[in-house]
């Protein structure tokens, strides 16, 4: 089980997204920031440095137009990746309430700090 946990990586757009998700997680998961831009060279470096072909990759980006475009690019390059989503009403991962992010993470078998779960959402 430990190998599986260490094998997870979440790709996000920015540092604020990373911080927002990290505080909710109770397990170690590598979180990689794209910083909103994405090109072939940048992707090749990310792929090589983080060994994304051999890991459980999760894409967790904003639901605004730049996030949707980034998701399309990442999905094309990483067809084995699992997609995590926020409700469109929040637009940005970092602005999405913790309990909603926590539920999305739980759905995909991440260990989270249960204090972020809000019973009304279950």
Q: Cα-flanking dihedrals φ and ψ of residue 9, to 5°?
A: -145, 135
Q: Tens digits of per-residue pLDDT, 20-58?
A: 999 999 999 999 999 877 777 878 888 888 888 889 999
Whole-angstrom Cα distance, residue 64 to residue 10?
18
Neighbours of 114 (CB within 10 A): 9
**Does position 67 have pLDDT exceeding 70, yes or no?**
yes
Q: At what angle do helices 98-107 and 15-24 cross, to 10 degrees?
A: 70
User: Which CATH architecture group holds 2-121?
Assistant: 3-Layer(aba) Sandwich (3.40)
Provide, rounded to the nearest whole percent, the portion of the chain with pLDDT above 70: 89
**Domain segments of the chain as ranges:** 2-121
Q: Where does 1-122 show beta strands of DSSP type E?
A: 8-12, 30-33, 56-60, 82-84
Q: How many residues does the chain have?
A: 122
Instruction: Supply the pLDDT for residue 5.
Output: 40
User: What average pLDDT is seen over the chain?
Assistant: 88
Distance CA 28, CA 41 (A): 27
pTM for the predicted model, two decimal places: 0.88
Cβ distance 102 to 117 under 8 Å?
Answer: yes
Look at residues 42, 3, 24, 41 and name the one whose alpha carbon lies nearest to residue 32.
42
């Amino acid at each position: 089980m430990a190998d599986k946990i260490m094998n997870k990586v979440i790709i996000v757009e920015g540092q604020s997204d990373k911080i927002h998700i990290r505080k909710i997680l109770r397990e170690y998961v590598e979180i990689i920031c794209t910083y909103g831009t994405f090109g072939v060279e940048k992707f090749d470096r990310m792929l090589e440095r983080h060994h994304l072909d051999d890991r459980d990759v999760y894409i967790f980006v904003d639901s605004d137009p730049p996030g949707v475009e980034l998701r399309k690019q990442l999905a094309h390059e990483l067809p084995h990746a699992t997609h995590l989503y926020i409700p469109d009403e929040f637009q940005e991962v970092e602005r999405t309430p913790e309990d909603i992010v926590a539920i999305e993470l739980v759905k995909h078998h991440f260990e989270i700090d249960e204090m972020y779960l809000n019973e009304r959402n279950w």
